[in-house]
C-alpha cells in the first residue's frame, strides 16, 4: 500500500523518500469528460500528485441533500488519478476559499441563524460541518493510501491563520478558540477513519495562528521562496518543507485586467523551491472555469467579483492546452525528478462558427411563472436569498408606489447584494451596484399605483475574510421618498431550469425587448470540439448551451469570451440561450477558435 509517512524532515512512501510534486486540478471546474486528459497532462509535466478542493456548497446544496454525480463524482476522479499513476492531496474544507462562491460554504448556513459565526467553534456551525463530513468522508476513506488508494494526505481547513470572524484587529480570535475549531475538524476527520497525514496551509505571516499541534504545517507563496521556506522552518523546526500553494498565476476580476505572470520568472521561483529540497503544489496546474454562478468575490474594502474564467495563467490553460509555463516548468522539474519521455502535448482542435442568429426572444417579465423556481413570497420587507432558501441567481422584488412624482429610492449601507436593476412600470430607471457603494437612485413615478420592480443579481458570495457572512438580495430597509416601503413580493429566480420558457420570434424590424430577456438560437456542428462564445455587442448576463450553464459575461471585461467544453456540444443541432440583462447591439453571437481573456497590465 502507498502509505505516506513523515519521518524527520522527509516524506516517505513505502519507506522510500518522496518529494511531492503536485498541481492543483479542481474536478468541479473541469468538465468530467476532460478529467482523464488533464490528469494525463499532469503526469507528462513530471508531477506525481494532483491536489483538489472539495466544494461543500455543490455537494450539499440543501441540508441533508448530498450529491456526488456527474461533475461532482469525486470517487471517479480519484479512480482516474490512480489509473494515471498519480497521488492525490485532498482538501475537503469545509472552507476552501479558491475564489469560489462563498469559499465553498453552502449559502443555507446563512439562513439557519443570523448569529451563526462561520469558521469558528460555534456549535451550530460545527453541527453542520459534522453532518457534511458524515456524508462525504465514508465515500472518501476507501481512497486513502492506507486502503490502497491514491489519497496521500488530507488538509485541515484552509489558510485559517488569515481568518478573522469579527472586528478589525489581526488575530483577534483567541488562540484557544482557533485551536478548538481546528481540533474539532481534525478530530472529525480522524473519527471518520482518515488515518493518512493531516496538514494545514497558511501564508508565512499566519503560520502561528493557523497551525495545529501534531499536524504538519505547510506554507503558501508565489515569490521569495528561500525567505518563505525559512519562515516555515522557523515555525516548524522539524518536518518536510512544503509549499502547498505555489502561486504561479493569479485570478481576474470584472473591471480589471487579465493578470499574467512571466513564465521564466515563475519557473525560476519554482526552481528555488525545489533547490531547497521542498515539496510543492502548483496553484494552479489547470484552473478551469467558474461555470454557471459559481465564481466568488473579494470584499476587503470594495466588493470585487471574480470573472467566469479561472484560467489562472496556468501551465494548462482554460481549455487544457499547454502554455509556455508547461514547457518552462517541465524543464525545471526534470532537474530534480524523472519526467516522462515524449513531446509537449499538442493543443486540442477548436471550433469556429460566426454569426449564429439568436432570433427567438422571451422577455423575463412574460415568463416568470415558467422558470421553474419557487413562487413569490409576500412580506412587509424584501427577503434575502437565504431567507428564500436560494443559493445562486437572482431575486425579483416588487411593490406598489402610492404617490406620483419625483422621488428617491434609498437602501441601507451595503444593502444591495450585489447589483440591482430598478424599473417603474417595466421601464428601466437605473442601477445600484454594491461595487460602487451605490445607495440611492432618483426617478419620477408616472402615476399613483405604479409598480416598482427591483431585479437583484448575486454576483458571487465573498470567499475570503470576515465578509464571508455574505447574504444576498436586498438586505435591510428600503425607503422611497424617505419613508420605509412596505408590501413587497420576493420571487427567487435561480435560473436552474429554463425548459419552460416560451420563446417568440419578433416580426422583422420590431424593436427588441426593453430590459431583461432570454434570447435563443440554434446552430449545427459536424464534429464537436472546444470553442469560445463571443458576445461582442451584448452587455451583461449569462449563457447556456444545450442546457449547460457556461457562466456570466459582462462588457466591462476583461474576459470577452466564454469557454465552451467540447463535450457540451453534440453532432447536429445545438441550442444556445443568452439571458441579457440590459440590451444588445445585435442578435447574433460567434463561436471562436481562440480565447480572449482581455488586455493584460502594461
Q: What is the CATH number of the domain that holds 28?
A: 3.20.20.80
Indicate whether 13 belongs to any domain: yes
The whole-angstrom distance between residue 262's C-alpha and the CA centroid of its chain comes to 24
Q: Is the pLDDT of residue 171 over 70?
A: no
Number of structural domains found in the chain? 3
* 433 counts as catalytic: no
Give the C-alpha distances (Å, rounded to integers) separating 428 from 368, 390, 422, 519. Answer: 18, 25, 6, 19
Residue range 162-172: mean pLDDT, rounded: 58
Residue 426 lies in a domain: yes
Structural domain for 515, as ranges? 353-362+498-592
Whether the predicted pLDDT of 444 surpasses 70: yes
Closest CA to 285 of 56, 30, 10: 30
pLDDT for the residue numbered 2: 74
Q: How confident is the model at residue 395 (pLDDT cuts 50, 70, 90)?
A: very high
Which pLDDT score is estimated for 258?
Answer: 97
Q: pLDDT tier at 1 (50, 70, 90 boundaries)?
A: low
Give the separation between CA 51 and CA 26, rounded to whole angstroms.
7
Band of residue 167 on the pLDDT scale cut at 50, 70, 90? very low
Residues 97 and 213 in one domain: yes
Q: Tens digit of pLDDT for each residue in 517-540?
A: 999 999 999 999 999 999 999 999
Mean pLDDT of 241-257: 98
Threshold 0.75, pTM exceeds: yes
State the pLDDT confidence band at 170, using cuts at 50, 70 and 90.
very low
Answer whether residue 509 shows pLDDT above 90: no
If we measure between CA atoms, which residue out of 565, 494, 579 comes closest to residue 533? Answer: 565
Shared domain check, 205 and 156:
yes
Please check whether residues 431 and 537 belong to one and the same domain. no
Query: Is 189 a member of any domain?
Result: yes
Active-site residue, 245 included: yes
Query: Mean pLDDT for the chain?
Result: 96
Q: Has residue 164 got a pLDDT over 80?
A: no
Residue 433 scores a pLDDT above 60: yes
- Domain co-membership, 68 together with 143: yes
C-alpha to C-alpha distance for 50 and 152, rounded to whole angstroms? 10
Q: Does residue 343 lie in a domain region?
A: no
In a domain, 341, yes or no: no
Query: Of these residues, 101, 159, 269, 386, which one is catalytic?
Result: 159
- For residues 388 and 358, membership in a common domain is answered with no
Residues 462 and 560 in one domain: no
pLDDT of residue 84: 97
- pLDDT over 70, % of the chain: 98
Q: Which residues of 490-527 are buried (b: 16+ CB within 10 A; e: fewer)?
A: bbbbbbbebeebebeeeeeeeeebebbbbbbbebebee
Domain boundary among 453, 477, 493: 493
Predicted pLDDT at 215: 98
What average pLDDT does the segment 172-196 reach?
91
In the listed set 476, 493, 510, which residue is the last one of a domain according to the structure?
493
- Give the per-residue pLDDT at 21: 98
pLDDT of amino acid 177: 86
**Are residues 446 and 518 located together in one domain of the fold?**
no
Whether the CB-CB separation of 434 and 414 falls below 8 Å is answered with: yes
Residue 342 lies in a domain: no
CATH number of the structural domain spanning residue 541: 2.60.120.260
Q: Please give the Cα distance from 344 to 355 (Å, whole number).
A: 34
In a domain, 287, yes or no: yes
Strand partners, 545: 548, 576
Check whether residue 275 and residue 391 sit in a common domain. no
Backbone φ and ψ for 268, nearest 5 degrees, come out as -65, -40
Whether residues 233 and 317 share a domain: the answer is yes
Domain shared by 57 and 143, yes or no: yes
Q: SS3 for 137?
A: helix
Given 430, 459, 493, the domain boundary residue is 493
Catalytic residue among 101, 245, 318, 580: 245
Query: In sequence order, which residues have a C-beta less than 8 Å from that of residue 187 and are 6 or more positions away?
Result: none
Both 527 and 545 in one domain: the answer is yes
Same domain, 289 and 152: yes
Q: Is the pLDDT of residue 168 over 70?
A: no
In a domain, 367, yes or no: no
Amino acid at each position: 500500500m502507498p502509505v505516506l509517512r513523515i519521518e524527520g524532515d522527509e516524506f516517505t512512501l513505502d519507506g522510500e523518500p518522496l518529494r511531492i510534486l503536485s498541481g492543483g486540478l479542481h474536478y468541479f471546474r473541469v468538465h468530467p469528460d476532460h478529467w482523464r486528459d488533464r490528469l494525463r497532462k499532469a503526469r507528462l509535466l513530471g508531477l506525481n500528485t494532483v491536489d483538489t478542493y472539495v466544494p461543500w456548497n455543490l455537494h450539499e446544496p440543501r441540508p441533508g441533500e448530498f450529491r456526488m454525480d456527474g461533475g461532482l463524482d469525486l470517487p471517479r476522479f480519484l479512480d482516474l488519478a490512480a489509473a494515471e499513476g498519480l497521488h492525490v492531496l485532498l482538501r475537503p474544507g469545509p472552507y476552501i476559499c479558491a475564489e469560489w462562491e462563498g469559499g465553498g460554504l453552502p449559502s443555507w448556513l446563512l439562513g439557519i441563524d443570523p448569529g451563526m459565526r462561520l469558521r469558528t467553534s460555534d456549535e451550530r456551525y460545527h453541527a453542520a460541518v459534522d453532518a457534511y463530513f458524515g456524508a462525504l468522508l465514508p465515500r472518501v476513506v476507501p481512497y486513502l493510501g492506507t486502503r490502497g488508494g491514491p489519497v496521500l494526505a488530507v488538509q485541515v481547513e484552509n489558510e485559517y491563520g488569515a481568518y478573522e470572524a469579527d472586528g478589525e484587529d489581526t488575530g483577534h480570535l483567541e488562540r484557544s478558540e482557533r485551536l478548538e475549531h481546528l481540533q474539532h475538524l481534525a478530530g472529525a476527520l480522524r473519527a471518520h477513519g482518515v488515518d493518512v497525514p493531516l496538514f494545514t496551509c497558511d501564508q508565512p505571516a499566519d503560520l502561528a495562528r493557523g497551525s495545529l499541534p501534531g499536524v504538519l504545517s505547510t506554507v503558501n507563496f508565489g515569490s521569495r521562496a528561500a525567505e518563505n521556506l525559512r519562515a516555515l522552518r522557523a515555525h516548524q523546526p522539524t518536518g518536510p518543507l512544503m509549499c502547498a500553494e505555489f502561486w504561479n498565476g493569479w485570478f481576474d476580476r470584472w473591471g480589471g485586467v487579465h493578470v499574467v505572470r512571466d513564465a521564466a520568472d515563475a519557473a525560476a521561483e519554482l526552481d528555488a523551491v525545489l533547490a531547497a529540497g521542498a515539496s510543492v503544489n502548483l496553484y494552479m496546474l489547470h484552473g478551469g472555469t467558474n461555470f454557471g454562478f459559481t465564481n466568488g468575490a473579494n470584499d476587503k474594502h470594495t466588493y470585487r467579483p471574480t470573472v467566469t474564467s479561472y484560467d489562472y495563467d496556468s501551465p494548462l490553460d482554460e481549455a487544457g492546452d499547454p502554455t509556455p509555463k508547461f514547457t518552462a516548468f517541465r524543464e525545471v522539474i526534470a532537474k530534480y525528478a524523472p519526467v516522462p519521455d515524449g513531446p509537449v502535448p499538442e493543443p486540442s482542435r477548436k471550433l469556429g462558427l460566426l454569426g449564429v442568429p439568436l432570433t427567438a426572444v422571451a422577455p423575463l417579465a412574460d415568463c416568470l411563472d415558467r422558470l421553474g423556481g419557487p413562487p413569490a413570497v409576500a412580506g412587509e420587507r424584501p427577503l434575502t436569498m437565504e431567507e428564500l432558501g436560494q443559493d445562486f441567481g437572482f431575486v425579483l422584488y416588487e411593490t406598489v408606489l402610492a404617490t406620483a412624482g419625483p422621488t428617491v429610492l434609498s437602501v441601507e449601507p451595503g444593502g444591495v447584494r450585489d447589483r440591482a436593476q430598478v424599473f417603474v412600470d417595466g421601464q428601466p430607471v437605473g442601477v445600484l451596484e454594491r461595487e460602487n457603494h451605490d445607495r440611492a437612485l432618483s426617478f419620477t413615478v408616472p402615476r399613483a399605483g405604479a409598480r416598482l420592480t427591483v431585479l437583484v443579481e448575486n454576483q458571487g458570495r465573498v470567499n475570503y475574510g470576515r465578509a464571508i457572512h455574505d447574504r444576498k438580495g436586498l438586505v435591510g430597509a428600503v425607503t422611497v421618498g424617505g419613508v420605509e416601503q412596505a408590501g413587497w413580493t420576493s420571487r427567487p429566480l435561480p435560473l436552474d431550469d429554463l425548459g419552460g420558457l416560451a420563446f417568440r420570434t419578433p416580426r422583422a424590424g420590431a424593436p427588441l425587448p426593453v430590459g431583461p430577456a432570454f434570447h435563443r438560437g440554434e446552430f449545427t456542428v459536424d464534429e464537436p470540439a472546444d470553442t469560445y462564445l463571443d458576445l461582442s455587442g451584448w452587455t451583461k448576463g449569462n449563457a447556456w448551451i444545450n442546457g449547460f450553464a457556461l457562466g456570466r459575461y459582462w462588457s466591462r471585461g476583461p474576459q470577452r469570451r466564454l469557454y465552451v467544453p467540447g463535450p457540451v456540444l453534440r453532432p447536429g443541432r445545438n441550442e444556445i440561450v443568452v439571458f441579457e440583462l440590459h440590451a444588445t447591439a445585435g442578435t447574433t453571437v460567434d463561436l471562436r477558435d481562440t480565447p480572449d481573456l482581455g488586455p493584460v497590465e502594461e
